[in-house]
Amino acid sequence: MNEPQTRRELLGHAVRGTALLGLGGLGALLLRRADAEGAWRINCDLCINSRLGAVGIEACELCASQCVLPLSAVRAVNDHARCGRCYICPAYFDVKSAIDERGLPSLKLCPRDAIERKPIGWIDPDDPANNYYEYTIDEERCNGCGKCVLACKEPAGLSSIRLEVRHSLCLDCNRCAIALACPHAAYLREPPRPSEAAR
Amino acid sequence: MKPGGPLTTSPSPRRHRTTLAALLLLTLGGTPLLAQHQYDYHRPVEAAPSEADIGEGYVTPVVQYHPPRPQWHAALDVGLLAAALLIGVWLVLKRRSRAGLLALAGACLIYFGFYRQGCICPIGAIQNVAAALTDPDALISYYVIAIFLLPLIMAVLFGRVFCGGVCPLGAIQELVLLKPLRVPNWLDRPLRAVKWLYLLLAIWLATRSAATGADSDPTFTRDFIICRFDPFVPFFRFAGPTYMLLIGGGLLILALFVGRPYCRYLCPYGVLLSLLSRFSWRSVNITPDKELDCGLCADACPYGAIKNLRAERSTCLYCARCFNYCPRHRVRDRDPQPSTTTPSD
């Protein structure tokens, strides 16, 4: 580039230099707020379906209904280490339905039949109630409605089921429809913070 | 911060003070970020049977989990954006090739539009930037900062190459433009002001909850309207609210006859780009060597960006259409031995 020839060119250089400096300054300001690990996450201590103390309510199904995907990116996940492996799981069975001939509730709670139940460990040949059962959620079927999450909570359950964002499906929308709809601000985009005591 | 340093051990975002270059080195170097990607979740678990209780060698299955997109994907996106911007500049200013630019725009439409599904884009990043600048609780990722700043820096240097060659929203309108009609001046001028209002409204809504803090406030009212009313992202995703599909479809039908209605009249990022490109270092020269007075280029420009037979830097969308209409350009193209001297300014 030659030496600036005219006053106009000189002015142009000055304006461009100022603009680039300004953008650099903006970048530096933003870097102070920057964080590498932004992803949408559910804070289970705020989500009404898993929050301790929130009982006697209807399950909040906004995670299933608000996502822009045809099948929501939110799924229920069973943390097996915390699961009670109950014979009559309140999240698997609709415990208010009639008892059938096996002595179990006749209906399942999941509207999409996404939970699989199988006996594990040493199996008592005579008494099925004496067994432990493993409950696995089929993530192809689950749409994250949260009914099982709410059912597997006090007083009936141990809260081993929670809602989670499937990052393999999440489109990472800048304006997440679920986050905007969530009435409890439990759907957040931020790095995880240490858990607070359940409210 | 050292590359490979403890990015993950500190939950405080304020500590992550590092440059973009360091980030790119870090991520391209493949340093795994072993962050805990879920919130801590504590419940009394005394009642849960242990593996020993269950017996028969039972092993607790791992919890189903899919990690977020790896960091190097984000770095790749930034690299591709930078590369596409530079290729666009080269195609338009050096090669003067409309076909090449269309190919680039198509490729960017496929990658940034249909593959990456239009999120996050520099247009929407305005809101993240506005929120991060005003709200002490709002975070912004390095990726978003780079995506926001790169096209602006290119605008200062070369003009609105992002609009012409890279932006998937621009590309989809460019490709459907069938029979451009001239928008009369009395209509064009007020419509161009709409994007300013849109930008101000978007910034206001994106910064609205700055005072209250978003985390636990149930009256959280921040909204990203640029994303909510993005007309073409529902097409990229093949999903979206019906009213947005209708608005997007309507805009596309309008774009058959009016060149790039979203870019010219609505795009809030276009406001920033046009401001910064006003004094750009290089810009589109319509004729390769000698100027003519024929005005064919001005008739060919569907965006009304040619004033006094010069491409106006702030409105020129780098579509390279005028080159194909310039008689000098055709003469030079047919010349078997094109002159090696560069065109003088």
Cβ-Cβ contacts under 8 Å for B100 (sequence gap 6 or more): B91
pLDDT digits (tens, 9 = 90+) for B125-161: 999 999 889 877 777 888 899 999 999 999 999 999 9
Q: Which chain A residue is nearest to residue B238, measuring alpha carbons?
A: A69
| A53 domain residue, yes or no | no
- Residue A91's SS3 state is coil
Pairing of strands A161-165, A187-189: unpaired
> What pLDDT score does B13 carry?
40
Structural domains in chain A (count)? 1
Is B50 buried (19+), middle (13-18) or exposed (0-12) by CB count in 10 A?
A: exposed
Task: Outline where chain A has alpha helix (H).
Answer: 7-31, 62-66, 147-151, 177-181
* Cβ within 8 Å, pair B39-A42: yes
| A155 domain residue, yes or no | no
Give the Å distances, CA to CA, from A115 to A137, B33, B156, B295.
Answer: 5, 32, 57, 70
- Residue B231's SS3 state is coil
Dist CA B279 CA A54 (whole Å): 59
Q: How far is A6 from chain B (nearest CA, A)?
A: 13
Q: Which residues of A touch B140 (CB under 8 A)?
A: 30, 33-35, 38
| Over residues A13-24, mean pLDDT | 94
| A22 domain residue, yes or no | yes
Query: How far is it between the farthest Cα atoms of chain A?
Result: 99
Domain span at residue B285? 71-209+231-332
pLDDT digits (tens, 9 = 90+) for A158-188: 888 999 999 888 888 888 889 888 888 888 8
Pairing of strands A161-165, A74-78: antiparallel
| A152 domain residue, yes or no | no
Calculate the dihedral angle through the C-alpha atoms of A17, A22, A23, A25, rounding to the nearest 10 degrees.
Answer: 120
> What pLDDT score does A157 carry?
81
| A10 domain residue, yes or no | yes
| B6 domain residue, yes or no | no
| B75 domain residue, yes or no | yes
Q: How confident is the model at residue A41 (pLDDT cuts 50, 70, 90)?
A: confident
pLDDT at A1 over 80: no
Q: Torsions phi, psi of B167, nearest 5?
A: -60, 120
- The DSSP bridge partners found for residue A188 are A41
- Residue A172's SS3 state is coil
pLDDT at B277 over 90: yes
pLDDT digits (tens, 9 = 90+) for B305-338: 998 888 999 999 999 999 988 888 777 666 555 4
| A4 domain residue, yes or no | yes
| B258 domain residue, yes or no | yes
| A114 domain residue, yes or no | no
pLDDT greater at residue B241 or residue A108: A108
pLDDT digits (tens, 9 = 90+) for B175-220: 999 999 989 989 999 999 999 999 999 999 888 864 444 454 445 5
Q: Nearest CA to B40 among A50, A151, A38?
A: A50
Q: How far is B131 from chain A (nearest CA, A)?
A: 10
- Residue B150's SS3 state is helix
Task: Outline where A45-142 has alpha helix (H).
Answer: 62-66
- The chain-wide mean pLDDT, for chain A, equals 86
| A13 domain residue, yes or no | yes
> What pLDDT score does B285 carry?
87
| B5 domain residue, yes or no | no
> What pLDDT score does A128 carry?
85
* Cβ within 8 Å, pair B66-A168: yes
pLDDT at B110 over 60: yes
Confidence (pTM): 0.81
pLDDT digits (tens, 9 = 90+) for B227-252: 989 999 999 988 888 899 999 999 99
> What pLDDT score does A186 carry?
86
Structural domains in chain B (count)? 1
Both structure tokens of B321: 């259409």
pLDDT digits (tens, 9 = 90+) for B12-44: 443 344 444 444 444 443 333 333 456 666 665
pLDDT digits (tens, 9 = 90+) for A113-150: 999 998 988 888 888 888 889 999 998 999 999 999 99
Q: How confident is the model at residue A32 (pLDDT cuts 50, 70, 90)?
A: confident
The closest CB to that of B54, out of A27, A34, A121, belongs to A121
> What pLDDT score does B45 carry?
57
> What pLDDT score does B41 carry?
62
Q: Which chain B residue is nearest to residue A159, measuring alpha carbons?
A: B43
Please state the separation of Cα A157 from the chain's center in Å: 19
Domain span at residue A1? 1-34
